Amino acid sequence: MPLRLPPRPKSKRSNLLTYKAYLRKRWVEGETNVKVLLEEIKAQGYNGEYTILTTFLADYLRLVQEPGLPPAQKGVRYSCRQVSRLLGLPECDWPEKERAFLSYLVGQDEAIGQVRDLCLRFKVMIKDKKPDELALWCQDASVSAGLSNFEKGLRQDYSAVQQAIGSVWSNGQTEGQVNWLKTLKRQMYGKARFDLLRIRVLARNRTIHLN
């Protein structure tokens, strides 16, 4: 008798597409574990294998977006000089982007708010030339940890400070001329002698008068 080979078994066709709607529903609900989904559809009659389901879900549309962390924000750093300058401004002049920070800073620390109020009072006192307010200001500043040393320095030459506040004269013009001379020296790399500086200053003044 001739040798006959056993018939080749027909491959079993997977019925995975039957459960496509169910898999989609479970995926939307947040179940993305392949093993769990495999057990669920097998209980309903799925005849395929784990690898078939894995391949099918590999290209599956991820309908559920996992919650992500909020975008990182770069922290803002302030130097002592920046904070001092900002706190020295009246509240109406605070930059809009710094307003929340400054309000929080002043509100959270009583000492900071006290020093700021005293500094603003001192600036107004000098601007409006009110030397009679100096005594009260010194009294309030003496109990402030941030300004007590400054107040002691004023006390050492109190009469001169009071006179300076009320005087119509100032050394602003002198300081301006000194700064201008320093600028000239920097233009010549700081090596200008007196005779050269004298010529440049006199030449500038002559040009101004001629104009």
Instruction: Compute how many other C-beta atoms are within 10 angstroms of the C-beta atom of residue 180.
Output: 11
Q: What pTM, to 2 d.p., does this model score? A: 0.50
Alpha helices for the chain (secondary structure H)? 20-28, 34-43, 50-58, 80-87, 99-108, 110-127, 134-141, 148-156, 158-166, 172-187, 194-210
DSSP of 128-189? TT-GGGHHHHHHHHTT-TTTHHHHHHHHHTHHHHHHHHH-S--SHHHHHHHHHHHHHHHHTT
14 three-class SS: coil
Mean pLDDT of 151-175: 89
Closest CA to 160 of 148, 169, 172: 169
Per-residue pLDDT of 15-64, as tens digits, reads 888 888 888 888 888 888 888 888 999 898 888 888 888 888 876 655 54
Alpha carbons 11 and 26: distance in angstroms, whole number? 29
Checking if the pLDDT of 191 tops 60, the result is yes
Checking if the pLDDT of 5 tops 80, the result is no
Alpha carbons 70 and 73: distance in angstroms, whole number? 9
Give residue for tokens 């130097």. Answer: 79
Per-residue pLDDT of 105-140, as tens digits, reads 888 888 899 999 999 999 999 999 999 999 999 999
